[in-house]
Amino acid sequence: MPTHLAVGEHRDLRRAVTVEGLLEQGLKLTTGTGGPCSGPEAALDCCVSDADCDDGDGTTLDFCEGATCGHSINPDACTSASDCDDDEACTQDSCSDGVCQYTGMIGGDCCTPGSAVLGDFDKGTQAGIYVTDNLETGIFWTVDKTRSAGGDFSLYCGDPIPQTYAIGARVKSSATTKILSIPKGGRTTVRFELYKATRTHRDYDVFQVFALRKGALFPLWSSKALPNGVTDGSWEKVQIPLDTYAGQDVQVRFVFDSVDGAEAALEGTYMDSIEIETVCQ
């Protein structure tokens, strides 16, 4: 157990002035949970994990984005491997948990190794990364030179003047790559450097990575995988396998969602050196 309260927990304690609030808080203290879905104001579609959003319908993909359930039509819905045949000898087609997966073969003429930089921001531009301010708060991913993992610039989700994302309101911004044609052979990985100085509660200030394919979002990675959801004052390399997208066209989407309004003037989240690599072993 942490010896201090994260900001979100502090807010929950302040909320606990009503009888209902005290009961709620008592339950939380007993179970040791807390977080965005535990308070009396939590929305019905509130979540802290993808599993919380499972609607039992194989034709939809269910995921937790920030702390809100999202559902996409599953473009790769299947019940058996034969549903997934892509007529491509260099990919092995399978059906896993109702979703088609395509794994690149290594042998024959299938695999060509290679790598490419998707974003280093060092020309001071976003260079092919498309940014959306999802909630139109004026806080969004922007090129910044306060920190970098390589070169002079990185991509920062915050206000570059006070150098914080904490405006007392929920902020959410997406940064999306161009369409990537994942090679049909070998194993492809996307990797990047992450610097995340946010609240130390994994269910707030969530940074997530998705594959965007045929209009559907597939969850790939979340900052919930980090201890306390932060990188502890240093850059950390994140590597995400795209093994199951061989021969497919995907975009990679990076999302920061504060979930609620942070008030402490924490710095926020940076990413840099986004690369993709295919290996043949």
Nearest-angstrom CA–CA distance, 156 and 158: 6
**Site residues for Ca ion, window 40-69 (CB under 5 A)?**
none
- The 3 state secondary structure assigned to 68-116 is EEEEEECCCECCCHHHHCCCCCCEEEEEECCEEEEEEECCCCCCCCEEE
* Residue span binding Ca ion (CB under 5 A) among the ranges 33-41, 70-78, 227-235, 268-276: 268-276
Please, what is the minimum distance in Å from the beta carbon of residue 11 to Ca ion? 35
User: What backbone torsions phi and psi does residue 90 show, to the nearest 5 degrees?
Assistant: -85, -5
Size of the site for Ca ion (CB under 5 A): 11
Please report whether residue 103 would count as binding Ca ion according to CB under 5 A: no
Figure out which of the listed residues 9, 120, 205, 257 binds Ca ion, where binding follows CB under 5 A: 120
Please, what is the minimum distance in Å from the beta carbon of residue 130 to Ca ion? 18
Please report whether residue 173 would count as binding Ca ion according to CB under 5 A: no
Figure out which of the listed residues 38, 74, 91, 269 binds Ca ion, where binding follows CB under 5 A: 91
Please report whether residue 148 would count as binding Ca ion according to CB under 5 A: yes
Q: Which residue, 52 or 88, is less far from Ca ion as judged by CB? A: 88
Please, what is the minimum distance in Å from the beta carbon of residue 150 to Ca ion? 5
**Site residues for Ca ion, window 67-86 (CB under 5 A)?**
86
- Tell me the DSSP string of 130-173: EEEETT-SS--EEEESS--SSSS-EEEESBTTTTB--SSS--EE
Chain mean position to CA 86:
28
Nearest-angstrom CA–CA distance, 57 and 230: 33
Please report whether residue 147 would count as binding Ca ion according to CB under 5 A: no
Please report whether residue 177 would count as binding Ca ion according to CB under 5 A: no
243 class by beta-carbon count within 10 Å (0-12 exposed, 13-18 middle, 19+ buried): middle
Residues that bind Ca ion (CB under 5 A): 86, 88, 91, 93, 120-122, 148, 150-151, 272
